[in-house]
Amino acid sequence: MSKTFGKAFVFGDNITTDALAPGAYMKAPLAELAAHCLESIDADFARDMKRGDIVVGGENFGMGSSREQAVMALRELGIGYVIAKSFAGLFFRNCINLGLAPLMCVDAAKINAGDELCCDAGEGSILNKTKNECYACEPIPPHLMAMLNDGGLLSHLVKRRALITTLPSN
Amino acid sequence: MLPRLAQTLAQKIIARAAGRDSVRVGELIVAKVDLAMMHDSGGPRRVAAMLAEIGASVWDRNKVVVVTDHFVPAVDVDSARILKLTRDWVRINQVDRFHDMQGICHVVMTENGHVRPGMFAVGGDSHSPTAGAFGAFMFGVGATEMAGVLATGEIWIKVPETQLIRWQGKLGHALSAKDMILATLKRLKLNTLKYGVAQYCGEAVTALSMSDRMVLTNMAAELGAQTGLIEPDATTFAALKNADVDMQYAPEFHGDPDATFLATWDFDANKLVPQVAAPHSPDNVDDVDRFQNVTIDQAYIGACTGAKLNDLHMAAEVLKGRKVARNIRLLIAPASTRMTAAAAADGTLATLTAAGAILLPSGCGACAGYGAGILAEDEVCISSTARNFKGRMGAASSHVYLGSPYTVAASAVTGRITDPREFIHVFHHAQAVA
Ligand code: SF4
């Protein structure tokens, strides 16, 4: 996980998976779906953001469906972290599974659009260079942090090979 | 000896799945999965490549259920390909419990007796809590996590808090479980449950049919709960028998009477009036009469939430001898083919079509903007589905209101959002639809 600075794109409460991965593009290749990520809220988001930028939400970020394309679209665009006051449970799980760090932070509302942020999931901290502030995040349990560090659930499973039901060799 | 730890229904199920006597709220544990359900959108289409990538195969094909519902019937080559891939994967992996175009996954699951009390199950869909109506702990997971379950048969869970949602009293005529859950959402909003368990109880809940109970647990997802639960009772076991479940595998499974809950929320069914959720959120709820000036373009009766046989009966009660208003389209996508057949046999379909309703295939349809019946710019729809997020059912500028099948049908007749109580009199209600 990079320690570089990214620009904050700030969204409100209850950002839905329908906004992150619109149903109409769910059959399309990931790159096309990602180009429409969050467009129902900010039509220019996918065009304006750069790799390494950071999405900031309020309460209940990622609510709605189980579609992990909501996380994949953010990752495809190169979003480094998602910060929110709270996350929808399913979206939180999907983030961990796909190796995108979800940072739960009570001070999320202090972050303004365009602020330069540097995040550390392991330490559970966010540095806001623009405002010269530092925020603490809810620590991610070690079991899940290990999964994140391995790059997500699948690579984590590969490392613990013994538990996987393997293909019969023939 | 330590005093025994009183367990909620959720704790009991998780403890059993983890091979433990009891579990504490907040513990992060790994539990064995009794059943994994996938559909065509998030299922084989996505997990096949993941399993191949890590060289894994399905841990137990008898614990897997696959349903095609999101992209059915195929409307273009892309959806046809997704369906073909799903069918091929099921054949290669010898998954016998495959339901191809038989209806929406959450409904098909219960119709076929796959859900049983005390089960610890995952589904590749956010409305998986629907199974909680039968006292099963089932929650939604993404495709990667599903691949993990298929490879290992296990999943991690943080033991959730349970909050009780208690509905006392008796529902009046032209009211349904949908009005109950919308009223619950009005008060608790989208995040009070904070990924805990929403457990429904009280005499108004006990009085509901299984089909109506499933509306409450289905929309636990909208409450932000990990799952919804209802303690199994006589109604539950009668329904299980009806679905040909071997009762030997349908144990009595209950929470301890002295278990503690994070909160108890009381509601009074006697005071309930029809509820409507305005755009663009299922918790943006008010009494139906606040919306009587809203004119509509489309009325939609569909989804796992609002198109079961019972829901079709509600619509028929309103539409009997009436006509859908001019320039309004009423689309009805019954939740399963079995329910379509039952509705054909009991005359419900004839009542609906005589009123001018257009029947669509059983599947997710317009609910999530995947299938037929989606909306153009600025169009207004009233729908019996679970979600009205911006752009979900079509153009970002379209407007979706949520209501019960009664309310949707009544609105289709007048062309504006309408209180269904004007259409159904207590006298008629007592007779119900034959
Ligand atoms: S009908 Fe709608 S809510 Fe139900 S599973 Fe299908 S898309 Fe989801």
For chain A, give the mean pLDDT. Answer: 92
Q: Is the CB of B215 under 6 A from ligand 1?
A: no
Q: How many domains does chain A have?
A: 1
For chain B, how many helices (H) and strands (E)?
15, 18
**Residues forming CATH 3.30.499.10 domain(s) in chain B:** 9-266, 275-433
Q: What is the pLDDT of residues A99-157, one digit of tens each?
A: 999 999 999 999 999 999 999 999 999 999 999 999 999 999 998 999 999 999 999 99
Let me know the angle formed at the C-alpha of B101 by B97 and B103, rounded to the nearest 5 degrees: 85
Residues of A with CB under 8 A from a CB of B: 14, 16, 18-19, 22-24, 26-27, 39-41, 59-60, 63-68, 71, 86, 88-90, 92-94, 97-98, 141, 143-144, 152-154, 157-158, 163-168
B143 vs A contacts (CB less than 8 Å): 68
For B162-177, what is each residue's pLDDT tens digit?
999 999 999 999 999 9
Residue B251: band (very low, low, confident or very high) from pLDDT cuts 50, 70, 90 = confident
Q: What is the distance between the alpha carbons of residues A160 and A153, in angstroms, rounded to a whole number? A: 11
B434 pLDDT band (50/70/90 cuts)? very low
- Which CATH code is given to the segment(s) B275-433? 3.30.499.10
pLDDT at B253: 83
Cβ separation A157–B28 shorter than 8 A: no
- Using a 6 Å cutoff on CB, does residue B367 contact ligand 1? yes
Q: Which CATH class is domain B9-266?
A: alpha beta
Provide the strand spans (E) within A41-115. Answer: 54-56, 81-84, 101-104
Q: What is the mean pLDDT of chain B?
A: 95
Cβ neighbours for A66, distance < 8 A, ≥ 6 positions apart: A17, A90, A94, B42, B123, B124, B125, B126, B128, B140, B141, B142
Q: Is the pLDDT of residue B333 over 90?
A: yes
Contacts of A41 in chain B (CB under 8 A): 390
To the nearest whole Å, the CA of A6 is away from the closest chain B CA by 27
Write down the pLDDT at residue A150. 94
Residue B266's DSSP bridge partners are B166
Cβ contacts of B104 on chain A, cutoff 8 Å: none
Q: What is the pLDDT averaged over residues B364-386?
A: 94
The reply to whether the predicted model has a pTM over 0.90 is yes
The two three-digit tokens of residue B388, written as one number: 């009205």
Whether A68 and B144 have beta carbons less than 8 Å apart is answered as yes
| Boundaries of domain holding A55 | 4-166
Query: What mean pLDDT do residues B259-284 have?
Result: 97
| Alpha carbons B88 and A19: distance in angstroms, whole number | 32
Q: What is the CATH number of the domain that holds A148?
A: 3.20.19.10
The predicted model gives B119-129 an average pLDDT of: 97
Nearest-by-CA chain A residue for B81: A27
Q: Which residues lie below 8 Å from residue B169, measured CB to CB, with a gap of 6+?
A: B203, B204, B268, B269, B270, B271, B272
How much of chain B exceeds pLDDT 70, in percent? 97
Q: How far apart are CA B118 and CA B112, in angstroms?
A: 17
pLDDT per position as a tens digit, B177-230: 999 999 999 999 998 999 999 999 999 999 999 999 999 999 999 999 999 999
> Alpha-carbon distance A78 to A51, whole Å?
4
Residue A30 has a pLDDT of 95
Q: Phi and psi for A7 in degrees, rounded to 5?
A: -90, 140
Tokens describing residue B176 = 């349904």
Q: pLDDT over 90 for what percent of chain A? A: 83
Structure confidence at residue B1 as a pLDDT band (50, 70, 90) = low
pLDDT at B375: 96
d(CA B356, CA B92): 44
**Does the pLDDT of residue A78 top 80, yes or no?**
yes
Span B291-319, average pLDDT: 98
Q: Which atom of ligand 1 is nearest to the CA of B106?
A: 5
- Residue length, chain A? 170
8 A C-beta contact, residue B38 and residue B66: yes
Using a CB-CB cut-off of 8 Å, the residues of chain B touching A16 are 389-390, 392
- Mutating to test ligand 1, I would choose from B108, B110, B126, B367 the residue with most ligand atoms within 8 A of its C-beta, which is B367
- In the predicted model, is pLDDT for residue B3 greater than 80? no
pLDDT category, A168, cuts 50, 70, 90?
low
Token pair belonging to A100? 């995108």
pLDDT of the residue at B279: 98
Task: Determine which of A65, A71, A92, A150 to mutate to test the interface with B (most B C-beta atoms within 10 Å).
Answer: A65
pLDDT band at A1, cuts 50/70/90?
A: very low
- Among B267, B268, B305, smallest CA distance to B164 is for B267
Mean pLDDT of B275-283: 97
- What stretch of H or E contains A169? none
Average the pLDDT over B273-292 and give the result.
98
